[in-house]
């Protein structure tokens, strides 16, 4: 009985509780953000200026190497195309509004090895290949929509008592549990398809989860952990997104040249890194990605490098730990991550109450990436001032800060759909 009361109290209190205990040394005072100098994306490491698009292409490779070496680690180039199993197709899904496809993409020949389950919805009435949103999900494909046809897959869960993780069949009561984050019908009605996969299929998200994911498949004989400049979990998830795109390229009902990669929070960090490396992604959308995503690291506001490395030591490469408390020494910063995606469109979104992710820092990354877009002849919106809440600005770069909490909402999606319309539905396409 007592434990029942405690549970009830916890449930009532739940919305008021912070997502986790905030570290004591976190700064939320704008006046205490120290001065910093950002590395110039338009200057080579040896100091030469970058003045032409041709020079930018070389500088881009230099910046990409820096991110690989110090932050995300190198991902292996896919040596072989993975062989997906034939998809299961339902042409009359969601009451006739959608074509639903589900496909298993094994990452190795080992039947017990990791494999990705890709869920695809396409508008049923499309007369030509459709543009897509592609993003990983946190809780399993079955949580994205209540559609009973979605396979009930296996997900990773932590035992609250022992703190150990195990993989188990998802509970059917969690069907549609994350549906507020995936407005499937609206996406379809606007003429887009949606593809998503559970991120734990690629690598489960906990320290030590690496051995159940794809990274060991690429170890050299005898290797037990990644070298200091080899990929972390975010690198693995980003690699998984590229493998999903490989699959989308094989589907004639999909226009793989118009795929927007999207992600929320840690998966927003992942979406940016995926688009930075893989130029086949036509657009990137980062929702509340924060530290290690769109937020300028040198601004000491909200989460910092040492916080993230302490709580999520598996996300970045081992070299990244050298920059705990030393953000000024990092050879890159978030504006360069966005610049790597240029000239392709990038949308960054923040939420007012999500101070941990540093909304201003997320905005400033766009401001400081803009010179690269201008050099490449792409129009950028007026970024002199941070726009007021709920007033998006968009051109080749897009930004909004929404009222409310750390989340991805239907309103956020409205803006992403408008942004995609702007770039994917121009005359002649």
CB of 312 to ligand GCU, least distance (A): 7
**Closest C-alpha to 317, from 103, 74, 58:** 74
Residue with smaller CB distance to ligand GCU, 303 or 412: 303
Instruction: Please give the sequence-ordered ranges of beta strands (E in DSSP) within 138-192, or none if there are none.
Output: 154-158, 165-169
**How far is it, in rounded angstroms, from Cα 141 to Cα 49?**
47
Write out the two tokens for 77: 């180039």
**How far is it, in rounded angstroms, from Cα 313 to Cα 307?**
10
Binding ligand GCU (rule: CB under 6 A), the pick from 230, 251, 291, 412 is 291
290 lies in the binding site for ligand GCU (CB under 6 A): yes
Residue with smaller CB distance to ligand GCU, 132 or 234: 234
**How far is it, in rounded angstroms, from Cα 96 to Cα 109?**
36
Cα torsion angle, 46, 370, 30, 310, sign: negative
Residue count, binding to ligand GCU (CB under 6 A)? 7
What residues from 396 to 425 belong to the interface with ligand GCU (CB under 6 A)? none
Residue with smaller CB distance to ligand GCU, 236 or 375: 236
Write out the two tokens for 401: 């800060």
- x/- map, 339-368, ligand GCU, by CB under 6 A: -----------------x------------
**How far is it, in rounded angstroms, from Cα 257 to Cα 271?**
16
Name 262's bridge partners: 285
Residues 157 and 166 sit within 8 Å (Cβ to Cβ): yes
**Closest C-alpha to 360, from 397, 380, 334:** 334
- x/- map, 242-271, ligand GCU, by CB under 6 A: -----------------------xx-----
Cis amide bond preceding 158, omega within 30: no
Active-site residues: which are they? 265, 406
**Closest C-alpha to 368, from 356, 380, 358, 359:** 380
Residue with smaller CB distance to ligand GCU, 102 or 287: 287
3-state secondary structure (DSSP) of residue 348: strand
CB of 160 to ligand GCU, least distance (A): 18
How many Cα atoms sit within 13 Å of 38 on the Cβ side?
A: 19
Residue with smaller CB distance to ligand GCU, 199 or 373: 199
What residues from 308 to 327 belong to the interface with ligand GCU (CB under 6 A)? 308
Residues 309 and 320 sit within 8 Å (Cβ to Cβ): yes
Residue with smaller CB distance to ligand GCU, 281 or 356: 356
* Length of the chain as a residue count: 429
CB of 268 to ligand GCU, least distance (A): 7
CB of 72 to ligand GCU, least distance (A): 14
**How far is it, in rounded angstroms, from Cα 126 to Cα 129?**
7
59 lies in the binding site for ligand GCU (CB under 6 A): no
Q: Which positions lie near ligand GCU, rule CB under 6 A? A: 265-266, 290-291, 303, 308, 356
């Amino acid at each position: 009985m007592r434990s029942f009361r405690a549970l009830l109290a916890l449930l009532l209190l739940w919305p008021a509780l912070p997502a986790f205990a905030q570290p004591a040394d976190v700064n939320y005072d704008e006046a205490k953000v120290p001065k910093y100098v950002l590395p110039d994306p338009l200057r080579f490491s040896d100091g030469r200026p970058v003045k032409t698009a041709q020079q930018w292409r070389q500088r881009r490779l230099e910046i990409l190497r820096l991110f690989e070496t110090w932050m995300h680690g190198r991902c292996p180039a896919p040596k072989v195309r993975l062989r997906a199993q034939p998809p299961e197709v339902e042409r009359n899904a969601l009451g006739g509004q959608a074509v639903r496809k589900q496909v298993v993409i094994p990452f190795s020949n080992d039947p017990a090895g990791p494999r990705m389950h890709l869920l695809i919805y396409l508008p049923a009435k499309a007369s030509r290949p459709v543009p897509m949103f592609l993003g990983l999900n946190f809780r399993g494909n079955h949580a994205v929509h209540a559609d009973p046809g979605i396979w009930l897959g296996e997900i990773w869960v932590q035992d609250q008592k022992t703190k150990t993780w195990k993989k188990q069949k998802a509970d059917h009561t969690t069907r549609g549990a994350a549906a507020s984050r995936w407005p499937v019908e609206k996406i379809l009605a606007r003429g887009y398809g949606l593809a998503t996969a559970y991120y734990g299929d690629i690598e489960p998200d906990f320290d030590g989860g690496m051995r159940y994911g794809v990274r060991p498949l690429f170890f050299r004989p005898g290797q037990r952990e990644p070298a200091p400049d080899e990929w972390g979990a975010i690198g693995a998830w980003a690699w998984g997104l590229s493998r999903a795109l490989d699959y989308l390229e094989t589907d004639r009902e999909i226009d793989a040249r118009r795929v927007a990669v999207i992600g929320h929070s840690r998966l927003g960090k992942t979406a940016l890194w995926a688009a930075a490396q893989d130029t086949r992604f036509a657009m990137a959308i980062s929702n509340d990605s924060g530290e290690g995503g769109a937020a300028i690291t040198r601004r000491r506001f909200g989460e910092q490098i040492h916080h993230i490395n302490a709580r999520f030591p598996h996300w970045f490469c081992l070299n990244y730990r050298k920059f705990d408390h030393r953000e000024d020494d990092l050879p890159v910063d978030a504006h360069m991550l966005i610049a790597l995606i240029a000239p392709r469109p990038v949308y960054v979104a923040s939420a007012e109450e999500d101070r941990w992710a540093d909304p201003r820092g997320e905005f400033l990354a766009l401001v400081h990436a803009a010179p690269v877009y201008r050099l490449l002849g792409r129009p950028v919106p007026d970024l002199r001032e941070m726009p007021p809440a709920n007033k998006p600005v968009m051109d080749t770069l897009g930004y909004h800060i929404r009222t409310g909490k750390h989340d991805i909402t239907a309103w956020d999606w409205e803006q992403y759909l408008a942004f995609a319309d702007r770039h994917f539905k121009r005359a002649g396409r």
